[in-house]
Structures are given as structure tokens and as C-alpha cells.
Amino acid sequence: MNMPTLTELNTQDANDGIEQQVVGAIIDHQGEILLLKRPMDDFRGGTWELPSGKVERHDADLFAALRREVSEETGLIIADITGYLGAFDYTSGSGKRTRQHTWSTTQRSVDPREDVVLTEHDNQAWVTNTSAHSVSSEVQHLVDTHFTAVTS
């Protein structure tokens, strides 16, 4: 799997006029991935998504932001970042040009399914496919890319 450097990603985002970077993680445990359900009163409320969030000024880099966001949203700790899955652009709720970069990850937990602590979402699901969950086409593409990479 192609793994661009963080410098390459930051340079491309700056060149493209991206105003806000977001990081996301596919957390895979024995072939199941974690989806989180957004609160109904939130931006894109009721949709299922990957653990993700904004890069903050105090984050040392995209990987630091990824580790922080996964920990904040799920209580899980990333052991390894195993591959870059891609990015997609959207306009944030505040109107900013936003790009989400997403990586495949593994967790330190022996069984992360038992250790998830939700702080910002209404529900969680460990799935082998997204057919029973309302995900965006962008998230679906990332999930497909992840499962293709781990089965090839």
C-alpha cells in the first residue's frame, strides 16, 4: 500500500487550498472494523463514520492528531499505522474546505471491541461490511480500499 509522507500530504493540501485537515482511522480487529454513529443533532447527524477529527494547532503532525482523535473518541490507543487509504474533500459545517486523510491502524488492546468508550458518538458497531449502516460514499470507498488491501 502506498504510504505518502506527511510532508507530501501537507504540501498537497496547502497547494489545493485546504483550510482544515481531518484525520481518520480504520480500526481493524480480526477482520472487523469499528464504525461510530454521529449524534442526530450534529453535522451529518445519524450517519455512521470512522473515528476521525480535526487536526488541532497543538498537534505535532497528522499522526499525532490521529492518535489523539482515536483516543478521545474511543478510548483506544493506536499500536501501528499500517497504511494510507486515501483522502476525500468536503465543506465543513462552518464552511471550510476540508480534507480527511485516513489510515488503517491496529490497536494496543487485546480485544478493542471490549474496550471502546464512546465520548462523542451515540453508538458503535464492529462490522465486516457496511451494508447495515448508513455511511457516506467516501467512507464506503475507504472501507473497500482497506478490505481489498488486507485480502490481497
Q: pLDDT, tens digit, for every residue of 49-72? A: 999 999 999 999 999 999 999 999
Q: For residue 1, what pLDDT band results from cuts at 50, 70 and 90?
A: low
CATH number reported for the structural domain that contains residue 119 in this entry: 3.90.79.10
Residue 104: what pLDDT?
96
Domain count, the chain: 1
Beta strands in the chain (DSSP E): 20-29, 32-37, 48-49, 52-54, 78-91, 97-107, 123-127
| pTM for the whole structure | 0.91
Residue 5 parent element (H or E): none
Within a domain: 74: yes
Domain of 139, in residue numbers: 6-151
Residue 39 parent element (H or E): none
Residue 46: what pLDDT?
78
> CA-CA distance, 92 to 95, in Å (whole number)?
5
Cα radius of gyration (the chain)? 15
Mean pLDDT across the chain, nearest whole number?
A: 93
Say which range, 11-15, 76-80, 112-116, has the weakest mean pLDDT: 112-116
Within a domain: 76: yes
Within a domain: 1: no
Count of CB atoms within 10 A of residue 77's CB?
14
Within a domain: 98: yes
Task: Tell me how far the alpha carbon of residue 38 is from its chain's centroid.
Answer: 13
Residue 59 parent element (H or E): none
What mean pLDDT is predicted for residues 87-113?
92
